[in-house]
Chain A
Amino acid sequence: MPLFQAIGLAFRGDAGFTLAYFKKMVSDVRFFDALKYTFLLAITIVPLQLVTALAMALLLNKSFRGSRFFLYLFALPLGISDLAAGLIWLSIFTHRGFLNSILYTLGILEKPIHYLSYQNVGFTFLAVVAAEHWRATAIVMVILVAGLQMISKDYLEAAEVLGARGWKKTWYVILPLLKPSLQSALIIRTIFALQTFAVVLALAGQITPVLAGEAYFWQFLYRDSHVASAYAVLLMVISITMTWVYLRYLGAKTGGMRG
């Protein structure tokens, strides 16, 4: 029901159907920046997370002494909210934060760098990437570990009998069998990465605007539910399109793998 209400708010004006709110959204100075950074964030963070999480999951899959302890340790950021993660990394990247102080003490820097400022948009963006990567990789890891545990031992034994070991086994047997988990992790993370909001606000303010953040500002500061809804509808359209693309182009190949 909120879905229809949102579409209604985004398209219906005083005199019936209108595109005025979308025009207002697109003509906003920050709109294209928000669009740009939302996409940039998603395509930077998601592959980074998949690789990190895969490395973690394969490592834990070796089931060595203490691997369960490490599993819970790696999963720790699951409980940390995006706002808290943003504030944690703020303590590192802020003007007189840990990073600057450590680099100065080591003699690498002469004076502190303003990582989070309009002069250093690139740095600011990387700080957001670092915080999101740190916070949300745990979810991907949990999905992949669960996926690894579903792989039947028979396949692995068969692979070993046929002479596949080490990297070969990982590459030709485990990874193809893990594809459904990789795919769902990819979809879930992309959708959430598109919604990144509090991390950006805590670290970057409006230096690197994102779509979800704009929806928040239009609703909260400018009290314009129509434009905020337009942003929300846009976000949903992007999410659905991305999911469809993934299922269309990755799903076809994994179809036979399931079950």
Chain B
Amino acid sequence: MSYRYLLRRTLLYMAAITFSLWVLIPVFLIAFSAFTPRQELYQWPRAVFPSHFSLETMRFFLGAYGVVRSLFNSVQVALLTLAFTLLVGAPAGYAVARFHFRGKGTFRLGILITRMFPTALLAVPLAVIFIRWGLYDTLLGVALIHTAMALPFAVIITTGIFMGVPKELEEAAMTLGCSRLGAFVRVALPLALPGLAAAAMFTFVISWNEVFAAAILTVRNRTLPAHIITTIQASPLDFRFAGGFFMILPALLFMFLIRRYLFHMWGGAIAER
């Protein structure tokens, strides 16, 4: 334990703690705001810490017109998106991980390219098409566009997950009398299940957070972010703070649960096994 070593360690931790504070302080501030009594929010100068813990602001937010309804809409859209995305994305990811087929490279590149189109380019024409198809202002319509947005990520994540399941295990199952499908269902799927759950939560968060398309494609059946953004100019500050805090809650929870899988998203690198 030399003097130099100690100095270096100290600097290292100081840097890490500085970055942590930069990340955490805004989250804490919005949490304080959401649990500050309404009166104190408008005082000058306002205290950083609320004088006492109060549910008044949150209750006001949840009681405001349209919030609970849009909350249920958000959950429905996110669950629909999750179902669609996994139904299409997981088999696609499995195919990319296991089989060699023509155009595989192009397929993977294509997945990435779809992510580069601006959301506006997808949402605006779809609004016109959806009116024609009767999907405009429906939760199904929003879920479809969210699926289109989440699918590339889902395929990339599930590819990484199935690559982590050794092919030999499936082959062994087949020599022991399983069919191709049986080997998948009995061996690969259970092993991939935690990873698939992570992909599902990630999809849920994408849908839960998405605002542009949801705001453009709905009028009355708004999701929570769409409701907040379309009423933002007219709503009081306490509504906005409570809404901001409320929106990050499930996102933070899910991100915590799937933290080990975050690295699957960005190509071959895998943080932990």
Listed in ascending order, the chain A residues whose CB lies under 8 Å from chain B are 2-3, 5-6, 8-9, 55-56, 59, 62, 64, 66-67, 70, 72-84, 86-92, 94, 96-98, 100-102, 104-105, 112, 134, 138, 142-143, 145-147, 149-150, 191, 194-195, 197-198, 201-202, 205, 212, 215-216, 219-220, 225, 228-229, 231-233, 235-236, 239-240, 243
Contacts and interface: CB of A to CB of B under 8 A. Distances in A.
A220 B263 contact: no
A88 B120 contact: no
A2 B16 contact: no
A245 B27 CA distance: 37
B266 A142 contact: yes
B225 A243 contact: no
B231 to A, nearest CB: 12
Nearest to B15: A59
A150 B268 CA distance: 8
A225 B127 contact: yes
Contacts of B268: 150
B233 A205 contact: yes
Contact of A232 (B9, B118, B247, B267): B118
Interface string B209-235: 111100110000000010011101100
A195 B124 CA distance: 14
Interface of B: 9, 12-13, 15-16, 19-20, 22-24, 26-27, 29-30, 33, 42-48, 116-129, 205, 208-212, 215-216, 225, 228-230, 232-233, 237, 240-241, 243-244, 247-248, 251-252, 254-256, 259, 262-263, 265-269, 271
A205 B212 CA distance: 15
A62 B24 CA distance: 22
B267 to A, nearest CB: 6
Given A2-B125, A9-B125, A229-B125, A88 B29 contact: yes
Given A74-B19, A101-B45, A94 B271 contact: no
Given A73-B20, A90-B240, A232 B124 contact: yes
A91 B46 CA distance: 11
Given A2-B122, A142-B266, A198-B212, A191 B116 contact: yes
B23 A87 contact: no
Nearest to A90: B240
A253 B55 CA distance: 57
B120 A212 contact: yes
Contacts of A79: 205, 209, 248, 251-252, 254-255
A83 B229 contact: yes
B24 A142 contact: no
B228 A83 contact: yes
A92 B23 CA distance: 14
Given A142-B262, A216-B212, A59 B19 contact: yes
Given A83-B244, A101-B44, A202-B240, 5 more contacts: A2-B122, A59-B16, A102-B45, A202-B232, A216-B212
B23 A88 contact: no
Contact of B30 (A81, A88, A231): A88
Contacts of B230: 220
Contacts of A146: 263, 266-267, 269, 271
A242 B144 CA distance: 29
A226 B210 CA distance: 23
A189 to B, nearest CB: 12
Contacts of A205: 233
Nearest to A104: B45
A42 B26 CA distance: 22
B117 A3 contact: yes
B244 A87 contact: yes
B255 A76 contact: yes
Contact of B124 (A9, A82, A89, A97): A9
Given A73-B20, A236-B118, A96 B216 contact: no
Given A96-B45, A215-B120, A81 B240 contact: no
